[in-house]
Each structure stands twice: as structure tokens, then as C-alpha cells.
Amino acid sequence: MKKIIVKQEQVPTEIMSTMGCRTQNGADINAVDSYKNNIKQVIKDGTLYDDVTSAARKDSRGNISPVTLILPTLAMQAKEKAQKSDSDAVEEFMKLLEKKIGEAKDMLLERFDWQCSQPAKSAKFMYENGTMYGYKPEEGIRSAMKHGTLAIGQLGLAECLQALIGKDHTTKQGMKLATDIETLFKEKCAKYKKELKLNFGVYYTPAENLCYTAMKKFKEKYGEIENVSDHEFFTNSMHVPVWKKLTPFEKIDIESKLTGFSSAGAITYVELDAGTVNNIQALEDLVNYAMDKDIPYFAINVPSDSCSQCGYQGEINDKCPQCGSTDIQRLRRVTGYLTGNYTTAFNLGKQDEVEHRVKHNGIEC
């Protein structure tokens, strides 16, 4: 067999680098043809990749427009309709969800057209620094925007399942329904992407503010429901509820069954105590386990508090264990970022979420 030598600069771009958990995008439908052409130019006697679609350019792209569906609200609307028509609540929910995904698509298209109508100077830094792939001045803004992702997001899968069947996706029955829901999201986005030649994708919404504002509106209408609205926040996208007592491996196992449905960004994280600083091998084992489970973006949360008086560092609860001071700087990864004191940097919903987080440190269910 003839040996093929390809210079590095000739290899078509396949870059998976990301700024954050929600910039891990699927294949760019508007770059596949050019990618195939590059392949033919580089290698005439074979194929570099079996699946050229998965290798389309990913760098210099990102989510340009997200619309998020509040799943617990849709669950309650479906239950109300089911009671009136004596039908199944899950069946009504799936019908309603399909309708709302379609409406989200229409909203994204309207916004996309408006964005494409803007002059390049509206985002002067972006076009002058080449931060958006594919921009051609003679073709206008759409030449770059078509490579971005139009993201259909979701919030509160766990609470949605609780409202519909009284169980979340840590159970076999809950996971079955969760998989049906995510399959619908994925299939509809794939359909829109193919038909409209735009990068529609399933977005696991981080909901830094929405987790709280959506819950406030939900409570105003439906009141407090156990395991649905008895907190100040909705659970982030398809995550396991933060109060569930699981080992880190169990949490990874559960969420890894759903992360593959997302093509517009997702994250799985585990919450550990400060003691792991002395067990680097354990951290490496966790990362390797997450990668083996094909987690696209993995994070490990470790508290890093510091006493302003004596400089003691570690997890500090009420007061410094070394000097007794209550002047503590509390550093947490509350969302995708490391922040200062979470009790002042975030809304009441995120503060409540942090307070309810358990350590995934080997506790059995």
C-alpha cells in the first residue's frame, strides 16, 4: 500500500478547542462541502476521515442565538390539558413539546434574519479580528453568521419528570422518559438543520439568571410542588438535581446517557470537598472516567475559601478554623466561572442552588 505523506498545514481543520461548555458545537453544515473539497485536494488515493461530517470546522464558531424552553411549565400545561380531555399527561407533553420546539425554531429564524441585516460595524471587533469564521465582505454578514449555531435550549428536565411521573432521571422510568424527550429535541434540530441549511442544535442551557426568574413565575401560577418548585431555582438543563446524594461516578454515569443528545453545548460536573487537593490521582481518575463515558465537557468543583485575616485556605463554613475570623472570601464555581463571594455575586436562585449542593464524595444512594 502506498504511504501517503501529508504536511500539517495541508490537513483540513478539525479543532475541538472551546472557550466554555456551551461552545462545543456540532458539525457545521455550511462547511462540509468545502471540507470534502479539501480532503480531495490533500489525499487523492483514500479518505482521511470515515465521517467527514463530524470533522467539519468547529473553531471560530459559537452559539449566536439561544431560545430556552421551560420544561416544568410545559409539563404542568400538559397535565392540565390531560385532565380536561381524560388523556395521558406524558402523551400531551410530547405533543406540546414538539409544538414549542417548532415555535423556538421560528423565533430563532426571525432573530437570525435580523442579525444578518446588520452592518459589519455593529460587531466591529469581531469582523476586524476574524473571530467569526467565513466572513466575506462582498457577501455580507450572513456569510459568517451561517456558520454559527441556532440553539434550542431547555431548563429543568428533572423537575419536568417529577411533575409528569413523580420520578426524575436517576430512576429507570425517569431516564426512559428523559431519553424520549432528548430524542425529540435532537431529531427536530437535525431536521431543521438539513432543511434550512442552518446549524440548529440542542442546547443544555446554563440558565444563570433564568433558573430563578422562571421559578418565580412558575410559583406564581402553580404554587409550591414537592421536588418541582420547593426551591428557588430550576435544575440546570438535564442535570441531576444538586441535592441528590450520589458518588461522582454515579453522577457521570447518569448524565453521560444524555449529553450526547446535545450539539450546541453541555457540561457535567461533580462537587468535591477541599480534601482532594491532597489526592491528585483521584482527580485524574475522575477526568479519565468522564472521558471514557464520552462527556464532552467536564468540570470538577472544589471549594477554595480563604480567610482575610490569617490567610488560611480550604473549605470554610461559619468561621476560620485557624483564627476564628468570619471575614471569609468564598470562591466557588457556581456557573461556568470562578467568582468571588457567591452570596453577593449571584441571584437568590443560584445562591439557593449552591446551598443545596451535596458533595459527590462516595455517599451511597
The answer, yes or no, to whether residue 39 has pLDDT greater than 60, is no
Q: Where is pLDDT greater, at 99 or 268?
A: 99
Q: Which one has a higher pLDDT value, 338 or 131?
A: 131
Q: How sure is the predictor about 56, in pLDDT bands with cuts at 50, 70 and 90?
A: very low
Rounded CA separation 255/198 (Å): 28
Q: pLDDT at residue 102 above 50?
A: yes
Would you state the pLDDT for residue 24?
A: 60
| Signed CA dihedral, 121, 125, 127, 128: sign only | positive
pLDDT above 60 for 12: no
Cα-based torsion angle of the residue sequence 155, 98, 262, 204 in order, rounded to the nearest 10 degrees: -10
Q: What mean pLDDT is predicted for residues 280-292?
A: 90
Mean pLDDT, rounded, for 274-278 = 69
Looking at residue 42, its pLDDT comes to: 45
The residue that leads in pLDDT, 198 or 38, is: 198
**Residue 9 clears pLDDT 60, i.e. is over it:** no
- Segment of 4-18, 182-196, 326-340 carrying the highest mean pLDDT: 182-196
Top pLDDT among 334 and 28 is at 28
pLDDT at 13: 46
Q: How distant, in Å, are the alpha carbons of 277, 310, 331 from that of 321?
A: 18, 10, 17
* Among 269, 267, 270, residue whose Cα is nearest residue 296: 267
Cell of 154: 431547555
pLDDT band at 296 (very low <50, low <70, confident <90, very high): confident
Q: Tell me, what's the pLDDT at 229? A: 96
Which of these, 171, 362, 201, 155, lies nearest to 296 by C-alpha position? 201
Is a pLDDT exceeding 50 seen at residue 87?
Answer: yes
Confidence of residue 364 (pLDDT cuts 50, 70, 90): very low
Residue 134 burial (CB count, 10 A): 20
Sheet holding 199-204, edge to edge: 63-70, 149-155, 199-204
Lowest mean pLDDT across 103-107, 122-126, 150-154, 243-247:
122-126
Q: What percent of the chain has pLDDT over 90?
A: 44
137 by Cβ neighbours in 10 Å (0-12 / 13-18 / 19+) ranks as exposed
Q: What is the pLDDT of residue 18?
A: 53
CATH 3.90.226.10 fits 8-356, yes or no: no
| pLDDT surpasses 60 at 259 | yes
Nearest residue to 203 via CA among 342, 15, 22: 22
Instruction: Pick the more confident residue, 83 or 21.
Output: 83
% of the chain residues with pLDDT over 70: 76
